[in-house]
Amino acid sequence: MSVRILALVGSLRAGSHNRQLAEAAAKLAPEGAEVVIYEGLADVPFYNEDTDIEGQVPAAAAELRAAAQAADAFLVFSPEYNGTMPAVLKNAIDWLSRPYGAGAFGGKPVAVIGTAFGQYGGVWAQDDTRKAVGIAGGKVIEDIKLSIPGSVTRFAETHPSDDAEVAGQLTEVVTRLHGTVGDVVAA
């Protein structure tokens, strides 16, 4: 069975280290798993229930929901902005939580990882992201975690896929997430 893992990256910056982690995860995905990086988060308008009307949902939000519906699992990459997740990531979670009770996360497995400049690698943001995704309907896999500290120096001249330690950790994350898909469906 081929498993489609949708990667949501919480940084829009061109040189984002979290984006580089997502690229590395896509490159290192095991056979039978495909990691697809969602490209349109910058275009999704802020969630507003007044615009979330069936048949009238903004195109960018509808595209995000369609991509999420087509996914078997999610791999969320969160940097840490002022001690929490970035607004673009929270906004995506808000859109994917609706319609209430039938959101696109739909009990699918979700792993949250990331990197940040600080000494803890963004754990606060990642914990907040796990909480929001779980409330939004995702099946957060709590024991899949990866927080890489010191991103600015660690990845200054090295792409995460070329860092042997990080590549090994990412491969394990994607392999473990891939392995949970059947377990969550059967539960």
**Rounded to an integer, what distance in angstroms lies between the CA atom of residue 88 and that of residue 14?**
15
What's the pLDDT at 186? 45
Tokens 């893992």 map to which residue? 5
Which stretches of the chain drop beneath a pLDDT of 50? 185-187
Return the structure tokens found at 127.
Answer: 């914990």
Taken in order 3, 70, 183, 128, is the CA torsion positive or negative?
positive
Q: For each of the domains in the chain, give its residue range(s) and CATH number, in order of start.
A: 3-186 (3.40.50.360)
Give the residue among 110, 114, 94, 89 at the shortest CA–CA distance from 10.
Answer: 89
Give the residue among 163, 144, 185, 142 at the shortest CA–CA distance from 28.
Answer: 163
Global pTM reads 0.95
For the stretch 139-187, pLDDT in tens is 999 999 999 999 999 998 999 999 999 999 999 999 999 999 976 544 4
